[in-house]
Amino acid sequence: YDATAPSYATVSQDRLDKPEPQNWLMPRGTYNGWGYSPLDQINAKNVKRLIPVWSLSTGVTDAHQAAPIVNNGIMFVSTPQNRIIAVDARTGDTIWRYERHLPPDMQQLHPTNRGVALYGDKVYMATMDACVVALTATTGKVAWQHCVAKWRDGYYMTLAPLAADGKILVGVSGGELGIRGFIDALDAETGKEDWKFYTVAGPGEPGGDTWKGDSWKTGGVPIWMQGNYDPATRTVYFGTGNGGPWMPDTRPGDNLFATSAIALDVETGKLKGYHQYHWNDAWDWDEVSAPLLIDVNRNGRAVHELVHAGRDGYLWQLQRDPSGKIGFISGQPFVHQDVFKSIDPKTGRPTYDEAKVPGTNKKALFCPSLWGGKDWPMEAYSPKTKLLYVPANDNLCAEIAGEKLGPREPGSLYVGVPIDDIFSSLRPRPGVDTSKPMKIGQLQAWDLSTGKKVWSHDFLDSAMWAPILATAGDLVFSGGTNDRMFRAFDASNGKLEWETRLNSGVEGTPSTFMVNGVQYIAVLSGYGVDAERQNNGLKKMLAPRLDHQVVPNDGTIHVFALMGPKTETASR
């Protein structure tokens, strides 16, 4: 499909299995999670001619993290506050807007939304009040809605749904509210539940013995990032979040399947395999960004791998078996990490420095910080350069101590660390001189065959908090820094090739597509949630250097193309 006049084209399973380069049908472009486009009209030689074609205010503020999803010239964008906008991708003309009003007494811990899914003739969104809505793609009218849990019990949703095998897969947030996490698969046509997988193993279930007493009932393990999918083996891969409450002594044991990669049968939801990155999490290191499915050349042999740059600061390379079983290959730090003393070379299981493990009435300083070496923003992989691109945060640590928990009240925080302590927990790496510009955010490029870092582009006095887009034009695109820049780097050496300053901070997932022979790059600006909370921590840490810095929150869709006759027509 390459639209001359944009019109919605039915999204079949076949189109999702083999997506067309012109379209961007899911947050990472393809099921393998690469965030890679084979388009190369915009490339390292001409990217200096990239200009804005149109922009559109979303009408809301806060963290705009979704990828602009494009099907046959029609763009779908979701924003905080349960909204979707459908736009003509060439011109920015609005086709429809949808809003699902939130209950007025609802408190949002993470007011964001990571995108829509397309399937058949519908658009799907997971909502803050823990429902899935299906809209008719051409009209924006509700086709069905199904609530997977009660928001008053502390469940909410921020992730992009994953559409596969006639199902819409979603998971729940609430790791700080004493939930029991799960993934639901809903029938794409009707919204009826097909299967449910609990991420906290219950008594008698496999993994159930890794929770003591009733701790499983409030064990957390949220799923707040979309999964990836292997159509060949019909296996979905998700990353799982932290155990709850935070202090590990409240839930002794490994706590399966927290902070893990899990493989589920798309048809039945049955667990096929898992790998727990770190056991009995104590640092809020959700490992929710799903592992990327990459075939890595090892001594001339293609190894089917699952690759994940962890919030725990380790770059994990795992083996994926056709049966769904997951094996361990390697793990190594990509930022300063002082918690793991070693990892078992056979299993990857880390041993901990006990002084770095916080607990109830036990304070600990640990690195990386509780936002991790990399929070949710996704890595990208280019099959052309064979490099993995990681949005990393180095030289940051956190200090927290647990307090005794009272009884859980449904819908209230159930963390065991005062929320103000969490937001003020950020510390510099011991020994770092914060009176000088500090190296924090990095865009790193890794050769997965050798396990070596090939280059790193460093940002001073700023975290790096945005997903990466890689293209066949030998470019990688990303925002993520506190100066409102959106940038393009040379994919092979990390050289900055182009940057433009936008209205707000940029933590959107960039996407690219083609209409009428013109390649476009799209990204959302709009800053907030934990990028902003961490930046507030940096402002305190680096005072007075960032005292006057403002990173506005206003949401906007931005679309760019190369200057030339065709873009002039497109932008009229």
Ligand X SMILES: O=C(O)c1cc(C(=O)O)c2c(n1)C(=O)C(=O)c1cc(C(=O)O)[nH]c1-2
For CA atoms 383, 453, 496, 67, the dihedral sign is positive
Region from 317-325, 343-351, 526-534, 564-572 binding ligand X, contact rule CB under 6 A = 526-534
Select 124 or 371, whichever has its Cβ closest to ligand X. Answer: 371
Is 173 a binder of ligand X (CB under 6 A)?
yes
Taking residues 235 to 254 in sequence order and writing x for each that binds ligand X by CB under 6 A, - otherwise, the string is: ------xx------------
Taking residues 74 to 113 in sequence order and writing x for each that binds ligand X by CB under 6 A, - otherwise, the string is: ------------------------------------x-x-
Select 112 or 210, whichever has its Cβ closest to ligand X. Answer: 112
CB of 15 to ligand X, least distance (A): 29
Select 73 or 505, whichever has its Cβ closest to ligand X. Answer: 505
Region from 132-140, 172-180, 297-305, 341-349 binding ligand X, contact rule CB under 6 A = 172-180
Region from 349-357, 418-426, 525-533, 545-553 binding ligand X, contact rule CB under 6 A = 525-533
Is 214 annotated in the active site? no
For CA atoms 163, 531, 511, 66, the dihedral sign is positive
The b-or-e profile of 154-172 (16+ CB within 10 A means b, else e) is bbbbbbbbbbbbbbbbbbb
Closest CA to 33 of 210, 285, 288, 402: 288
Judged by DSSP in three states, 140 sits in coil
Total binding residues for ligand X by CB under 6 A?
20
Distances (CA, A) of 464 to 140, 180, 211, 371, 483: 34, 31, 35, 11, 11
Helices (H), 319-394: none
Distances (CA, A) of 310 to 63, 374, 397: 21, 6, 15
Closest CA to 553 of 486, 482, 504: 504
Select 6 or 161, whichever has its Cβ closest to ligand X. Answer: 161
Do 389 and 376 meet the contact criterion of CB atoms below 8 Å apart? Answer: no
CB of 570 to ligand X, least distance (A): 32
Select 44 or 282, whichever has its Cβ closest to ligand X. Answer: 282
Distances (CA, A) of 6 to 2, 14, 73, 75, 516: 9, 21, 4, 10, 9
Considering only residues 359 to 378 of the shown chain, the ones binding ligand X according to CB under 6 A are 371, 375-376
Do 415 and 251 meet the contact criterion of CB atoms below 8 Å apart? Answer: no
Of all residues in the shown chain, the one whose CB is closest to ligand X is: 175
Q: Which of 309, 390, 531, 561 binds ligand X (CB under 6 A)?
A: 531
Closest CA to 201 of 262, 281, 132, 291: 262
Beta strand segments in 172-245, E: 182-187, 193-198, 228-230, 235-239
Region from 93-101, 171-179, 256-264, 517-525 binding ligand X, contact rule CB under 6 A = 171-179
Q: Quick one: tokens of 326?
A: 């997951």
Q: Quick one: tokens of 154?
A: 């502390």
Taking residues 476 to 515 in sequence order and writing x for each that binds ligand X by CB under 6 A, - otherwise, the string is: ----------------------------------------
Region from 168-176, 257-265, 473-481, 543-551 binding ligand X, contact rule CB under 6 A = 168-176
Backbone angles phi, psi at 72, to 5 degrees: 55, 45
Is 62 a binder of ligand X (CB under 6 A)?
no
- Strand pairing class (182-187; 63-64): unpaired
Please report, to the nearest 10 degrees, the dihedral formed by the alpha carbons of residues 109, 115, 119, 120 taken in order: 110
CB of 375 to ligand X, least distance (A): 5
Q: Which of 29, 73, 154, 175 binds ligand X (CB under 6 A)?
A: 175
Region from 116-124, 167-175, 207-215, 498-506 binding ligand X, contact rule CB under 6 A = 167-175
Do 570 and 90 meet the contact criterion of CB atoms below 8 Å apart? Answer: yes
Q: Which of 27, 73, 174, 505 binds ligand X (CB under 6 A)?
A: 174
- Strand pairing class (112-113; 63-64): parallel
Is 129 a binder of ligand X (CB under 6 A)?
no
Select 279 or 328, whichever has its Cβ closest to ligand X. Answer: 279
Catalytic-role residue among 184, 284, 474, 490: 284
Q: Which of 335, 530, 555, 558 binds ligand X (CB under 6 A)?
A: 530
Q: Which of 224, 229, 381, 513 binds ligand X (CB under 6 A)?
A: 224
CB of 377 to ligand X, least distance (A): 8
3-state helix, strand, coil in the chain (%, to 5): 10, 40, 50
Residues with active-site annotation: 284
Interface contacts to ligand X, rule CB under 6 A: 63, 110, 112, 158, 173-176, 222, 224, 241-242, 284, 286, 371, 375-376, 529-531
